[in-house]
Amino acid sequence: MHWGAALAASLVLAPFQAQAHAFGARYDLPLPLGMYLAAAGIAVAVSFLGALLFLRVGRARPLHLDIPIPAKVRRAFSTALGIVGVLGLAVLLGAAFSGPQEAVRNFATVWVWVIWWVGFVLFSALVVCLWPQIDPFRRLAAFSVWGTGRPWTDSAANLPSAFGLLAPAGLLAIAWIELISDWSEDPHAVGLLVTAYLVVALLGGLAFGLQWFRVADPLSRIFEVLGRVAPLSVVSRKALRLRPPGEGLLNRSEPIRGEVALVTGLIGIVLFDGLSETPVWAAVLDFVSDSQSLRPALLWLRAQGADLIQVIRTIGLLATIAGFYGAYLLLILLMRMLAGARLTIGQLARAFVGTLLPIAVAYHLSHYISYLLIAGQLVFPAASDPFGLGWDVFGTQNWSINISVIGARQIWWIGFTALIAGHALSVLVAHRRALQLFKDSRRAALSQIPMTIAMVGLTVLSLWILSQPITK
């Protein structure tokens, strides 16, 4: 994670090596790495065999329990979350523009890149998605619409479906800012970016009402898809739904345009971030720097003022996302051929892309858990004095970072478990989706052979990536 470089620089502790994954010594695996990779791949393959044995057409019924919520409790909780969201946005903007301008001391940068983009994303996928209730952009847009007398839920203007592509475009922009640009380390720049996002959200809400946040708003779309994995869901104004993890991925609602790019992008981004810490990426950089054919272009870019590392990382990010997107479409093509499906490649791609979301969550957890637990401690001093006025609201202004809160051994076993569970859950959910679509156990099983082989390969690859900075 690019922002983590600022944290690493701030610690200046020679005995420790700073990585997005961990701060500390490497973990000496008790068995050869290859045995762990093989065991993980076998575990995912076994989940496919279990699905073949126990899942049949007609048995894959939705499993959930709806818990009624009293109206007063619902309104009070929703109002409280909305107030927290709006006040949090106000504090964040105030800290960005008037607080300390060092990234590791500024509340805005710590909150946006660590607590929210890592911690809240994981909470939304592993527990319950509360972003629609908290979302200050949606709240302020709704208030603006109410103030102007415009419709909110039934806007007169019809939002074109092409606006759904703004969601994956927004995700790519966030990833570029976080992983490649210098803006993520500049509190003032973060404040300007959040302000720009707020302006766009207000204009979109005024023009299209709630449609904007259901179709075009990147953050709403990102949290909505991740929330389908969670075991709890706010399914209506009257109930909280308890369900097995991943059950929400089997809903038959029509996917919104851009969903395939959005989900594959979520995985591709974390894959790139992980690959950039491996010997493979180091070899790419060596090849580029030694290439005589690329030298003229690189010299020209440098003469134009371009940061060559940022250019190379941008190309790497785009190539990783595009490669994963293309690989997914190839799997869908093979699935269609084996199952003899009458559905188009586009229809199948949209139908099965949600089954990849447990993998996205597992990647996010395994790759960023140490970053959250270590860098997340920066929020304690930052929150005590968000505006740099010498306050100590919570008595934590002199909080010291405890880098021993998690070590390489814990990171490895958390990642090992999460990645196997995420891929196995994807295999099971994909098989249930196939039974829904094809209504035939044999065709469903045939359709999932390419997906399962790919899941086994992804499990091995992701574990290898995880192992590079933390094991020996």
* Span 305-363, pLDDT tens digits: 888 899 999 999 999 999 999 999 999 999 999 887 788 899 999 999 999 999 999 99
Tokens 């640009």 belong to 181
Q: Provide the angle, in degrees to the nearest 10, between the axes of the packed helices 357-375 and 259-275.
A: 50
Distance CA 49, CA 37 (A): 19
Q: Provide the angle, in degrees to the nearest 10, between the axes of the packed helices 218-227 and 166-179.
A: 90
Three-state secondary structure readout of 288-335: HHHCCCCHHHHHHHHHCCCCHHHHHHHHHHHHHHHHHHHHHHHHHHHH
What residues contact residue 49 under an 8 Å CB cut-off, 6+ apart?
A: none
Q: What is the DSSP letter of 66?
A: E
Considering the entire predicted model, what is its pTM?
A: 0.91
Confidence (pLDDT) at 58: 59
Q: Read off the amino acid at residue 415.
A: G
Q: Read off the amino acid at residue 38.
A: A
Confidence (pLDDT) at 208: 92
Distance CA 421, CA 459 (A): 10
Confidence (pLDDT) at 330: 95
Tokens 């395939």 belong to 260
Distance CA 10, CA 5 (A): 9
Confidence (pLDDT) at 19: 42
Distance CA 195, CA 198 (A): 5
pLDDT digits (tens, 9 = 90+) for 399-445: 889 988 998 889 999 999 999 999 999 999 999 999 888 888 888 88
Confidence (pLDDT) at 157: 65
The answer to whether the CB of 222 falls within 8 A of the CB of 172 is: no
Helix H segments across 385-469?
408-438, 441-467
Confidence (pLDDT) at 15: 34
Whole-Å CA distances, 242 to 128, 231, 233, 246, 250 = 10, 6, 7, 11, 14
Give the residue ranges of the chain where pLDDT is below 70.
1-25, 57-62, 155-157, 472
Distance CA 404, CA 288 (A): 37
